[in-house]
Amino acid sequence: MSNLDGFRVAILIVGFRNPQDVQACVSALARSSEQPLFDVFICENGGSDAFRQVCEALVDPHGPCQPLTGDLPDAISRPSGRLSKVECLALKDRASRVWIGCAEQNLGYAGGVNVWLERLLPIPDFQGFWILNPDAEPDPDALRALVEHSQLANKGMVGSTIVTPDRRDYVYCRAGHSWRKLRTQLALLGLGQPISEPIDLPAIEAILESISGASMYVTRECVKDIGLMDERFFLYYEDADWSTRAKKHGLGYAPDSIVPHRGGTTIGSAQSRAQRSLLSVYLESRNHLHFVRIHWFGYLPLALMFGCLQAALFLPGSPKNARAAVAGMLAALRGEIGQPQFHEAMTNSSPPLMSDNTSAANQGS
């Protein structure tokens, strides 16, 4: 067991018009073990109304928070830069603050993480950062297990055992992904295994190439060395890119960090192939090529070939998603980065890019 006395973590959550998810996530965090200490930092990417709704959800009678009065550190609380508003609440049952920032525009997942990292890195109070999806509800010892494994195994970035709420006895992934070079694909580690099945931890960590962004713990030293998330990705593959840069600090897996995660609730990526939102298909296709170009350039022709095969798989049930996949690849070849032009077309209700299964909630982080 490591000594966590005085150890403090900043938990970073990016939301997009999903206040009930955020409420449930923060409620789960309120039940965490006493150590380590933590504060929560939320970036709401969905605008002023969404910011108001998430604040109200957190302080309603069933919410985990209460209003906080008194002087607050200006370095965190001031509305400036890419945060137009900042609200600070307190968890009801522990000495933790919950900060909610309203992004001036949709910053994407990477930007939503970075906007808080930029403020927190100069503050020495936080020795680690836990990137957590808003539709995750971690078990009470999840954070403690991450920090202890990071310290005892000397790992700069550590992932959890991800499960789905309706199949908690089976693994969705162990920490994250391996990388299939010849298919240029990320492959989930441990998918479908019984959670109680004995594991070979060194063997898992030996092939671990990417920590899942659903639950990603990273040390201060690692972030200061590798830098912030790459906002060119906007959404999808930013966690894989960050993990690849963090490998020199060690990628680790904390088996006892259990994190139930629904997945895809804000962008519509959790449904069947035919039901996936156009934006999720487009960005995954585009950013797959970006990731390969940056880290596995020699495999780019293979990535293009498999990208075309993936697009063809959409044809039987969803020709529109097939076109979105092809459009994503073409955007990557044109060099499109950051907030996608596809996203702008959707928010402007451009008929060629809209579909019945694409809603405002699918455009977020």
Closest alpha carbon to 30 in 106, 114, 89: 89
Token pair of 289, please? 């090529």
pLDDT per residue rounded down to tens, the chain (365 residues):
567 888 999 999 999 999 999 999 999 999 999 999 999 999 999 999 999 999 999 999 999 999 987 767 777 888 878 999 999 999 998 989 999 999 999 999 999 999 999 999 998 999 999 999 999 999 999 999 999 999 999 999 999 999 999 999 999 999 999 999 888 999 999 999 999 999 999 999 999 999 999 999 999 999 999 999 999 999 999 999 999 999 999 999 999 999 999 875 554 444 567 778 899 999 999 999 999 999 999 999 999 999 999 999 999 888 999 999 999 999 999 999 998 886 544 343 332 332 222 222 233 33
Alpha-carbon distances of 330 from 294, 327, 354, rounded to whole Å: 17, 5, 18
Closest alpha carbon to 212 in 263, 149, 269: 263
Instruction: Classify residue 297 as exposed, middle or buried by CB count within 10 Å of its CB (0-12, 13-18, 19+).
Output: exposed
The model's pTM is: 0.90
Gyration radius from the chain CA atoms: 20
Query: Which helix (H) or strand (E) is 349 found in, with range?
Result: none
Q: Is 129 in contact with 218 (CB distance < 8 Å)? A: yes
- What CA–CA distance (Å, rounded) separates 16 from 267? 9
